[in-house]
Amino acid sequence: MTGTKSLLAVVLVLMLLPFALTGCGGSGASSPTDAVKGAFEAGAKGDVKAALSYMAAADIKQQAARTRKLIKSDEESAKEWGLTGEEADKLSDEELLLKDPSKGNGMDVSKIEYLDEKIDGDKATVKLKMAGNAMTMNCVKEDGSWKVTMQDAGADDDADEEVSDDEDSSDE
């Protein structure tokens, strides 16, 4: 459903933006579900460094590029970040993203229900239920560890659907 996918994108950006910032060199997780849980938990606590360890390198690079563009084009954002565009350009992606002024999102991660994990080689999807919606998080395996990615993992096309609280969440 397009609306649910849009909701997922907004939720993920808001939850992971402060943390999609420096996962290069991070430890990641031993399973896709552990990577998603780790990213959400670190995001809720405001632990940027930990959250970034669960993020894919391509997403870190993309987020740093977006952040540089934002700092250069929006004076208020530049003030929040405490950087000029020139200063942002001189920092590595990780250094820039670690300067994120955001604090933890305070989300109650105990209310997330993890429904299914599908692994296909070095790509995976984790289906979860959050705020009454089934969502799919994509993961990739990098250097032997699972990382969360905003890129399409291609393992589950029908995962984004509304789920009521009394609906059976099994796939059968």
Sequence-ordered list of residues with C-beta below 8 angstroms from that of 120, at least 6 positions apart, any chain: 153, 154, 155
Whole-number pLDDT of residue 44: 87
- Number of separate domains in the chain: 1
Domain assignment present for 74 = yes
Domain assignment present for 7 = yes
CATH code of the domain covering residue 148: 3.10.450
Domain assignment present for 71 = yes
Domain assignment present for 79 = yes
Domain assignment present for 167 = no
Domain assignment present for 170 = no
Instruction: Identify the residue with better confidence: 164 or 120.
Output: 120
pLDDT digits (tens, 9 = 90+) for 95-115: 998 888 877 777 888 899 999
Q: Determine the residue type at 82.
A: G
123: pLDDT confidence band, cut at 50, 70 and 90? very high
Domain assignment present for 9 = yes
With contact defined as beta carbons under 8 Å apart, do 58 and 151 qualify? yes
Q: For residue 100, what are the domain limits?
A: 2-162
Look at 20-24, 60-64, 93-97, 113-117 and tell me which has the smallest mean pLDDT: 20-24
With contact defined as beta carbons under 8 Å apart, do 142 and 152 qualify? no
**Mean pLDDT score across all residues of the chain:** 78
pLDDT digits (tens, 9 = 90+) for 68-97: 999 999 999 999 999 999 999 999 998 998
4: pLDDT confidence band, cut at 50, 70 and 90? very low
Domain assignment present for 158 = yes
